[in-house]
Structure formats: C-alpha cells, structure tokens
Amino acid sequence: ARLCGCYTTITSSHYTLAFELEGSSCNSSLLIRVRVLIMTGKVAVVTGSNKGIGLATVKSLCSKFDGSVYLTARDVGRGLEAVEKLKKEGLNPLFHQLDIDDQKSIDDFAAHIKKEHGGLDILINNAAVLFMPGAPEPLELQVVETLKTNYYALKNVCNALFPLLRPHARVVTLSSIAGHLERMVPGEELRKKFADPDLTEEKLDQLMQDFVRDVKDGSYKEKGWPTVPYTAYAVSKVAASALTRIQHQRFLKDPREDIVINHVHPGYVDTDLVGHQGPLTTDQGAVAPVYAALLPANCKSPRGDFIWHTKEIVDWVNGPCPSAW
C-alpha cells in the first residue's frame, strides 16, 4: 500500500512552509517520508547598510516591509554588530556579507539570494564613498576610486541582481544633490550628453572615461566638468542618476510586470560620509528611499524619476534644484 498527496501549509508574513507527506507500508510497518518545501516571501536588500542612511533604511523596512530584509556590509563583524543593535530594538534583519567592490562577493551574494529565496523584491543601492574636501589624495586617484565604487560597482551589483527581480519589484539608487545634472555640471555640451534620452550604458561608460582623462591632463574645468571641492563624488552621482534613467527605459520593455526604479536625494544627513556635518538625522535620510522602495503595485508615478528627500519629484535635467534640506 502507498500513501501520497497529503499536503498542508503553514504561512507567516515572511515565509510559507509546505509539508508534503509520502509513505508506504512494508512488513506491517508504515514508513513515512516528510518533504519540507520552503517557499520564502518577499525579500529586500540594502547595500552598505551597517551604518548611516543604510542602517536607518534597514530599520525602517523591518518595521514597514512585509518580508525579509537583508542588512549587508563589507566587514562581517561590523555587519553582525549592526544586526544585533537592531535585534535589541525588536527587529529581525538578516545579514550577508557584500563588498560591492569585489565581484566574487557580489556573485556569492546573488547566488545566496537565488538559492534561499528564488528572487528579489526590493533593491536599495546605498553603498558609496566620498573623499571629503581637502583630502590629501591626488584628484586623479580620488576620481578613479570614487568611480570604482559609486559607478562601476553599482553597475556590477545591478547586473548580478536585476535578473532576480520579481514582478512589481522596486529598485532605489541613492544619488545626491551633488548628482543633480542642472546644478552640478556647468558644461552645456556635457549636460546634453547626460540628458540624451538615447544615452546608453556604453556611452555613459565613455563619458566616465573622458572624465578620468580630462582630470589626468588637467583640462576637466575647461571641458565643463564640476569644479566643486567634491568633483569626483559629484560626477559619480550624476553618472548614477544617468544610469538609473537608462535602466528605467530598459524596465519599461521588460516582460516582468511593473518593475520600477528611481533615484533619490536623501538630504544632507549627519553621517560618516559627510563628516557628520548634515543637519538631518539618518532616520530622516531614510524617508525618501523607503518611500520609493514601498511604492504600491502599478503606481503611475514616480517612475525613473529623481526624488527629493521631501518625496517631491525634481526635474533632474532642467531643475530647479530645491534646498538640500
């Protein structure tokens, strides 16, 4: 005799456990095998989230998002310490190591998400670096290192995780007031290139290569690149915003329904990144990213837009640019 087809489920807000019973009788003994199928619910990932705006974003998502939230960090110790901090507040984030400058780390993380969850519902690209004004490193080195993390590593993360995005997924890339095209790029011809609706990743890559070249030969100011003390950071965030616009156009043609990407200026926030000079708290800095991450299904707007920390949609190309805080 054989038993099969006995099936039951237990569901919580974060997962579903499906128990499928299969058995047979042998020598008057009933042998039953239980196969447990774990079908996880929704999943959110925040890069660079062991401190600052990233940590505040994880904290907010743990309270508002009906699913699992991954806190990620380059350093395992600091990441686990941040997780324990949130657990003491009654929250339960998951942790996984992720160094966005390391392709193997990115690939390992993507493989983990695919294996354990089968897909991804929210991706918040928060990890970034900034050389403060007056940093001793030569500008050329600042440019190379900043673009490596804030642009090229950002692309690598997207390339690895975008295939895992499920229908109705939300992607949020943290930009900055320094990434506002009309405000930060004085050169009209350069602005036209960044604002070109037909801009491709290949053309954007070439613009970044041109910037490195122009810094190296000292012509970047006359070529129309930003001349602010944080030139490298500004260009990297303009590029991140331009990349978001390109990705938005791609998602419009994606067979997966309703994948939305936006770029966000979180405000001038009191974080390590800016030497704790910002007037806004990290919780305030997390408001706009979380808002963009939790946009309802099939919302008409914002889509591919530049969202200010006040949740206002700002014209990235033409301005005006509101107050930073």
What residues act catalytically? 233
The radius of gyration of the chain's CA atoms, rounded to the nearest angstrom, is 22
Distance separating alpha carbons of residues 51 and 95, to the nearest angstrom: 13
- Copy the structure tokens of residue 109: 């993380």
Q: What angle do CA 155, 265, 197 make, to 5 degrees?
A: 55
Distance separating alpha carbons of residues 110 and 4, to the nearest angstrom: 35
From residue 6, alpha-carbon distances to 10, 20, 107 in Å are 14, 6, 38
Buried b (16+ CB within 10 A) or exposed e, 275-299: eeebebebebbbbbbbbbbbbeeee
Return the closest-CA partner of residue 128 out of 202, 53, 226: 53
**In sequence order, what DSSP letters do the residues of 6-60 get, joined into one string?**
EEEEEE-SSEEEEEEEEEEEETTEEEEEEEEEEEE--EEEESS-SSHHHHHHHHH
| Contact assessment for residue 259 and residue 267, using Cβ atoms and an 8 Å cutoff | no
- Copy the structure tokens of residue 229: 């003390």
- Copy the structure tokens of residue 248: 């938005």
| Contact assessment for residue 73 and residue 97, using Cβ atoms and an 8 Å cutoff | yes
Distance separating alpha carbons of residues 44 and 60, to the nearest angstrom: 12
- Copy the structure tokens of residue 190: 């350069």
**In sequence order, what DSSP letters do the residues of 294-316 get, joined into one string?**
TPPTT--S-SS-EE-TTS-EE-T
